[in-house]
Amino acid sequence: MSQTDHIGKGPNRVDGPLKVSGTAHYAGEFNVPNLAYGYVVNSPIAKGKVVQVHADEVLALPGVLAVYSHENVPHLAWFDRSYKDLLAPGGSPFRPLHSPDITFNQQPVALVMAETFELARYAAALLRVDYEQEKHETNLETKRTEGYLPGGGKLGYAPPPPPRGNPEKAWKNADQKIEAEYTHGAQHHNPMELFTSTVEWLGKDKITVYDKTQGVFNVQRYLTGVFGLSKDNCRVVSQFMGGGFGSGLRPQYSVFMATLAALELKRSVRVTLTRQQMFSIGHRPNTLQFVKLATNPDGSLASLQHHALHETSLFEDYTENVVNWSGMQYQCDNVKLGYQLAQLDVYSPQDMRAPGAATGNPGIEIAMDEMAYAAGLDPLEFRFRNYAERDQNVDKPFSSKKLRECYREGAAKFGWDKRPLEPRSMREGHLLTGWGMAGGVWDAMQMPSRASARITADGRLLVLSGAGENGAGTYTIMTQIAAETLGLPLEAVTFELGDTDQPQAPLQGGSWTAASVGTAVKNACDALGEKLLKLAQKQKDSPLKDADYDEVEFVNGQLRLRRDPDRAVVLRDLLQASGVTQVEAESTALPNMLKQNGYSLHSHNAVFAEVQVDEDLGTVRVTRVVNAVAAGRILNRKTARSQVLGGVVWGLSMALMEETIMDHKFGRYVNHNYAEYHIPVNADMPHIDVLFVHEDDDIVNPLGVKGIGEVGMLGVTAAIANAIFHATGKRVRDLPIMLDKLL
Amino acid sequence: MSQLLTSAPHRGGLPAPVPTGPVRLHINGETRTLQLAPWTSLLDALREYAHLTGTKKGCDHGQCGACTVLVNGRRINSCLTLAVMHEDDDITTIEGLGTPDNLSPLQQAFVDHDAFQCGYCTPGQICSAQGLLNEGRAHSEAEIKELMSGNLCRCGAYTGILNAVQEVVAAQGEMVK
């Protein structure tokens, strides 16, 4: 029996005790001496120019140190490429305080620096800025016919695949068909932690930047590019992040501002955004979707067409993959997918949890429900009849796809077989009950990543990789992988992350951290293991004398021969007897393209939801959700379940609550605070069951993991919308479904 | 067509900020004297002056609950009150409930039930839950859910939070099914 098999179990988070005791340090919590505080001033207009910044008035206040604006910001990098971070889309990145031009409401126009936070806030509130206001356009409805295809895209963007078959003809000829438009407004990530940077001035243009980010290397790349710092003089640290959901993938203007002030004042600086300013740093774009579906008499899909149009800024072509998933989710030979952008006077949108998929998924999955009803079929049965065995977008088989099992196990847990097909058929007094379902698909990705591992004579293992921890459980799963690889108890292993002094890791996003950093950690530990084997073989009369690395295993603190476990050495004895103080190794993990090339790599899920709608008031309560996920190997059942629970909350939020409302008259978001931007609270929680469907996959990566952060959110929004239809007979195609839409 | 937006200059210069003065606060059983301006919120006093950063700032407007602390055993949003108003009060922050090596029952229950992900709302959730226990009002699942609804969690860890609080309430023998 092994006590060092950790993967697949559910140990508590290793960073849990720090988080529950207030001793985990987030970006704004590094106590640096002689700190100056910054407060950002934002534009109240959406388009125009700054005419004058009356800095002199506030500079006269004792304790105010500086006011930075385009009027006095020193010469910075000239070319766009210096401002382009790893996730910059096509176009010209926004340069804070660069020019008098205003291109979106809430654009930062000045930074006020002072001896205290209170003073910086006071001076910022009093700072007069004169503007010349021009006519703006923030309404996507005005751009319905002005969409354009983005030229290039950002990392991970794939244009829709070319059409197949003759979808329009098939649609026209079909007896049963639907055509509908689906919309949702802008949404903001709103992680609990405000964007903050603490920049520690170390003298001579050398700084350490404690930043809220999902990628310390991306921030380092940006800051060295913009401010001309060498990498050695610009260390970026992010050990804990109070939620990201994509908002921390690109460097935010808070880190630009704090670094600028630190370099100018030659002093340590902290800049923290307000909750209101958290609505000026990127968002899930307002999107219009157009779907046409048709079926053959046997219930198979005859035609599938899905087009999306979403907003972007005037300066960048933000892209995400909205419609591509629709071409692979179901078997259909006549498919057309379209994707366009339209420019508005808004800030560039930014990846937000399951970017693209969270938008396209309700579009196609509500349409599938509508189509099922038009064809007189149970929505689950309809999906079985159109199950895709192959990814038709790229004409490849899936490396693994246990979606059928998700459907079956989820439906059984939910009790779907007792569902009457007819809407409005379950009623208790004035409460209408409805059951809906939907499914989702997300990419299983792996990015290049590095990690190092070092074991000391006391038997303790230290593993490093500059990855991120935004709540997904990175510390814990990496500790599990490292401990299992070298046969150690969890307590003997420390995993550290979030520092540009560590081996390079990719951005913390896309659900790829477990696969990418996890494989790097495994490789580094295996490289260390090989060194340990060699060390063992140097010993006199070594029981492992002629063994190859693949013939040995690390279990329960021993290095032993697989075929004859009695031939073993105790790791700690080995280290102490060999006289070395430490053994270390570093390794890189790259996706195995040769192995993966012939396959389509994806995670899947199926969601079943129950709602109760008050017929008189139009209020909706979600009472039950079952989310069945097939995402390869689950590394930690406890933290993985939490991620999926969180995904359900996000899907519920998108279905019923979340929307940033634009007042087009002012081109300004009007509910830019936590009271009016509604997200679920504890009292909104349904009973949630999370099921992990067993899925083996040795093609995606050596660990067989696919990631769960994004896929867990998919299907939920549509399942709830479909349940509302089943309860009320009313089809709402504009999210969020607030009570006015049901009255 | 463009339109000029200007505002009138501040006549006679800007009013000078009110100077700082010593403020005595009793935090986690310790008395600390901090040099504070009167407009310093209790939250900022804790984080920026006492360097007790366990108390979190999520909105600064009393909308999210991340800054919840216990004042004389009752939970309050520390962003909505000024430090100078609490000279005679007994303030307990998350650091005063337990340490990583000696967690309080609630803190341990939060770890066991994975009642958080990013951890940023967590100190506020735990202080709120402690306040709820102190209030003696958490007698049912519905009551806990309602009374914990002043604390937002964007990661969506609400199920774990409920279960963690339920466990501690049950251990105290107060839970009614």
CATH number, domain with residue B67: 3.10.20.30
3-class SS at A468?
Answer: coil
The pLDDT assigned to A651 comes to 98
DSSP 8-class letter at B48:
I
| CATH classification of the domain holding B149 | 1.10.150.120
**Nearest Cα to Cα of residue A606 among A667, A526, A690:** A690
Cβ pair A289, A181 in contact under 8 A: yes
Who among A21, A244, A679 is closest to B54 (CB)? A21
The arithmetic mean of pLDDT across residues A172-187, rounded, is 97
How many domains does chain B fold into? 2
- Is A549 found in the same domain as A422? no
- Quote the DSSP letter at residue A549: G
Angstrom distance (rounded) from CA A451 to CA A115:
40
Chain centre distance of CA A699: 23
pLDDT reading at B176 higher than 60: no
For A132, name the nearest residue in chain B, comparing CA atoms only.
B4
What's the pLDDT score for residue B9?
A: 85
Say which residue the tokens 């909505």 belong to.
B80
Residue A479, both tokens = 């500790």
CA distance A473 to A589: 20
Quick check: is A9 in a domain? Answer: no
Is A451 in the same domain as A441? Answer: no
**Same domain, yes or no: B117 and B91:** no
Q: Are residues A231 and A165 in the same domain?
A: no
pLDDT digits (tens, 9 = 90+) for A288-313: 999 999 999 999 999 999 999 999 99
The CA distance from A649 to A641, in Å, is: 12
Please report, for the domain that includes residue A206, its CATH number.
3.90.1170.50
Among residues of chain B, what percentage have pLDDT more than 70? 97
Query: Which of A274, A297, A328 is at the close of a domain?
Result: A274
- Residue A11 forms part of a structural domain: no
Same domain, B90 and B125: no
Name which of B56, B61, B107 is nearest A275 (Cβ-Cβ).
B61
Domain count, chain A: 3
Q: Provide φ and ψ at A205, rounded to 5°.
A: 55, 30
How many helices (H) and strands (E) would you count in chain A?
16, 33
What pLDDT does residue B15 have? 86
A680 to B17: CB separation less than 8 angstroms, yes or no: no
The answer to whether the Cα torsion of A119, A259, A55, B79 is positive or negative is negative
CA distance to partner chain A, nearest, from residue B115 (Å):
8
Residue B123 forms part of a structural domain: yes
Single out the residue in B80, B97, B114 at which a domain terminates. Answer: B97
d(CA A668, CA A56): 28
* Cβ <8 Å between B51 and A31: yes
* CATH number of A512's domain: 3.30.365.10
Chain B positions in Cβ-Cβ contact with residue A23 (cut-off 8 Å): 54, 95, 99-100
B116 and B65 part of one domain: no
Residues A671, A653: Cα–Cα separation, whole Å: 16
C-beta of residue A65 within 8 angstroms of C-beta of residue A58:
no
Nearest residue, CB atoms, B149 vs list A28, A51, A681: A681
Q: How far apart are CA A111 and CA A88, in angstroms?
A: 24
The whole-angstrom separation of Cα A408 and Cα A410 is 5
Q: Percent of chain A scored above 90 by pLDDT?
A: 97
* Interface contact B27, partner A, CB < 8 A: no
Q: Kindly state the tokens that stand for A391.
A: 């990814």
- E strand or H helix that includes residue A428: strand A427-428
Chain A contact present for B72, CB below 8 A: no
State the sign of the Cα–Cα–Cα–Cα dihedral B17, B19, B23, B27.
positive
Token pair in block for residue A742: 């049901």
pLDDT for residue A152: 76
Average confidence score pLDDT of chain A: 97
Residues A393 and A423 in one domain: yes
Q: Answer whether residue B18 is part of any domain.
A: no
Band (pLDDT 50/70/90 cuts) for residue B177 is very low
Instruction: Residue A118: give the domain boundaries.
Output: 32-135+191-274
Share of chain A above pLDDT 70, in %: 100
Query: Is A2 part of a structural domain of the chain?
Result: no
Per-residue pLDDT tens over the stretch A626-645: 999 999 999 999 999 999 99
Per-residue pLDDT, averaged over B27-35, amounts to 97
Q: Are A293 and A354 in the same domain?
A: yes
* Domain assignment of residue B81, given as a range: 23-97
In a domain, B12, yes or no: no
> Cβ B118–A679 below 8 Å, yes or no?
no
pLDDT for A24: 98
Which residues, listed in sequence order, are joined to residue A236 by a DSSP beta bridge? A209
Tell me, yes or no, whether B84 lies in a domain.
yes
C-alpha closest to that of A276 among A130, A128, A140, A121 = A121
Q: Are residues A177 and A210 in the same domain?
A: no
Residue B110 and residue B71 share a domain: no
Tell me the average pLDDT across A462-489: 97
Looking at the structure, do residues B114 and B75 belong to the same domain, yes or no?
A: no
Q: Tell whether B138 lies on the interface with A, counting CB pairs under 8 A.
A: no
Residues of chain B with Cβ-Cβ distance to A240 below 8 Å are 118-119
Q: Say if residue B135 is in the same domain as residue B92.
A: no
Give the Cα separation of A718 and A551 in Å (integer).
Answer: 50
State which H helix or E strand residue A201 sits in: strand A196-201
Active site members of A: 710
- A631, A415 Cβ separation under 8 angstroms: no
| Residues A485 and A464 grouped into a single domain | yes
B174 touches chain A (CB under 8 A): no
Question: What is the DSSP secondary structure assignment for residue A6, as one 8-state letter?
Answer: -
Instruction: Give the whole-angstrom CA distance, residue B62 versus residue B58.
Output: 9
Contact A31 B122 (CB under 8 A): no
CA distance A212 to B52: 19
Residue B5 is assigned to a structural domain of this protein: no
Distance to chain A for B173, nearest Cα, Å: 23
**Which amino acid appears at position B102 of this protein?**
N
A22, B1: Cβ pair inside 8 Å? no
Tokens at residue A679, please?
């997200």
Pairwise CB contact (< 8 Å): B159 & A688: yes
Q: What is the mean pLDDT of residues A508-517?
A: 95
Same domain for B42 and B67: yes
Nearest CB to A274; choose among B9, B60, B120:
B60
Say whether residue B18 is in contact with chain A using an 8 A CB cutoff: no
pLDDT higher than 70, residue A322:
yes
Would you say residue A7 lies in a domain? no
Residue at which a domain ends, from B50, B70, B97: B97
Q: Give a yes or no: residue B50 inside a domain.
A: yes
Pair A207, A243: CB distance under 8 Å: no
Please give the Cα distance from A688 to A647 (Å, whole number). Answer: 11
